[in-house]
Amino acid sequence: MVTKYMIHGPCGRIRPASPCMKDGKCLKFYPKQFVNETIFDDDGYPVYKHRDMGITVKLSGTDIDNRFVVPYNPLLLMKYQSHINLEFCNKSNVIKYLFKYVNKGLDRLTATMDQSTSGCQNSQVVDEIK
């Protein structure tokens, strides 16, 4: 099920034309680096454990290793048999972000409409900020 549902891409040097690639880099930062335990980087973002166990699976003729596996929970994966990206958030600033995200409301904007003057030689100054 991990092979079927939880593999990102492949992308990177293996498949540079993948939709997640921009300017030669994966927008989701795959493949991840091998690390033996989950740590936080200097910016406070988690770097999840991706051990180099020497295990690969063959997808589209390419050997894929653990660096392409999206964080998951085995119980949820087996129960729902679908892609469920599960990541832990345990820093106090994440709770603040989550609170703001839940309460931000719908997207909205403020717009004004003005009467159009004829012709392209319009000398009227439009206050775009207004």
**Candidate segments 23-31, 55-63, 79-87, 111-119, binder of Zn ion by CB under 5 A:** 23-31
Q: How far is CA 92 from CA 45, 89, 96, 98, 99, in A?
A: 12, 9, 7, 10, 11
Residue 10 beta carbon to Zn ion: minimum distance, rounded to whole angstroms: 8
Quick one: which of 7, 20, 47, 57 contacts Zn ion (CB under 5 A)? 20
Q: How many residues sit in the footprint of Zn ion (CB under 5 A)?
A: 6
Q: Is 30 in the site for Zn ion (CB under 5 A)?
A: yes
Task: Name the minimum Å distance from CB 95 to Zn ion.
Answer: 28
3-state secondary structure of 21: strand
Q: Find the shortest distance in angstroms from Cβ 32 to Zn ion.
A: 10
Q: Are 56 and 63 in contact (CB under 8 A)?
A: yes
Closest approach of Zn ion to the CB of residue 103, in Å:
31
14: Cβ contacts below 8 Å, ≥ 6 apart: 62, 64
> Is residue 9 near Zn ion by the rule CB under 5 A?
yes
**Which is it for strands 57-59 and 21-22: parallel, antiparallel or unpaired?**
unpaired
Find out whether 51 and 67 touch, Cβ atoms under 8 Å: no
Residues of this chain that interact with Zn ion (CB under 5 A) are 9, 11, 20, 26, 28, 30
